[in-house]
Amino acid sequence: MTITNGRDLEGMKLAGKVVARTLEALKTAVEPGITPAELDAMAGQVFAQYGAFSAPRAEYAAPVNVFISVNDDIVHGLPTLRPLAAGDVVSIDVTPNVGGYVADAAVTVAVPPVSPVANRLIACAEAAFGEAMKVARAGRPLHGIGRAIETEVARRGFTLLRELQGHGVGRAIHEKPDVPNFYHPALKKLLHAGLVIAVEPMVSSGRNWRTKTLRDGWTISTADGSTAAHFEHTIMVTAGAPLILTA
């Protein structure tokens, strides 16, 4: 989606607000004993307050309000009835449709006490996103985002999960362009003002960048069983610093 008028901008800001409120509610609720299924139900309650609904459910028949991925699960985790326990690393991916506008963001939190490696892994995903924001400017090449993410993840000593990537978003969950998390020299197309994209580094503590899809048909996990972290926001490209719509 490219935002060209005030109506679309306000629509995307409202969708982003619902994402932010949902993420904040679920982050606060993460504690030992709560189940991902309970967190999913809480997300549905926040959605209902704003007249929102799950975009993955509407577009892909996903059986969830939000995706919740634990430990070696990276993305698209189906909320389970297994209570969270101390040390679990939990990624929450929220994508509502609000009045025809779709925004997408994710955060990874850990159930304390947390291992030093898990803390560094979560910080790595967020820092990689921050580096991408420095180059997500109108007139700059799309591949600069992936270069910035890849460089930061390598600098911190973690593994980039290269099979997963960001994407355009706005009227649907997945729109053009694809936004790889690594440097892809062929992606020379220049970013333009108003372009809405989801930038989402996904990293693991292992050494294998391959992934696997579980038998539920949804959950994508690390191939080597290592812990994963995911950080994502929906942004609008401008000539300067991008507008983070889901902050």
DSSP state of 167: E
- Degrees to nearest 5, angle at CA 20 with 14 and 100: 35
Q: Is 200 annotated as a binding residue?
A: yes
Do 94 and 41 meet the contact criterion of CB atoms below 8 Å apart? no
d(CA 99, CA 114): 39
d(CA 183, CA 185): 6
Asked if 64 contacts 39 with a C-beta cutoff of 8 angstroms, the reply is no
Tokens linked to 158: 């973690």
Is residue 174 part of an annotated ligand binding site?
Answer: yes
**Cβ count within 10 A of residue 162:** 16
Asked if residue 40 belongs to a known ligand binding site, the reply is: no
Phi, psi (rounded to 5 degrees) for 218: -120, -55
Q: What are the distances in angstroms from CA 140 to CA 180, 209, 238?
A: 15, 27, 11
104 annotated as ligand-binding: yes
Whether the CB-CB separation of 143 and 177 falls below 8 Å is answered with: no
Judge whether 178 is annotated as a binding position. Answer: no
- Please report, in range form, the residues annotated as the binding site for a divalent metal cation: 93, 104, 167, 200, 232
**Binding-site residue ranges for substrate:** 76, 174
Annotated binding site: 76, 93, 104, 167, 174, 200, 232
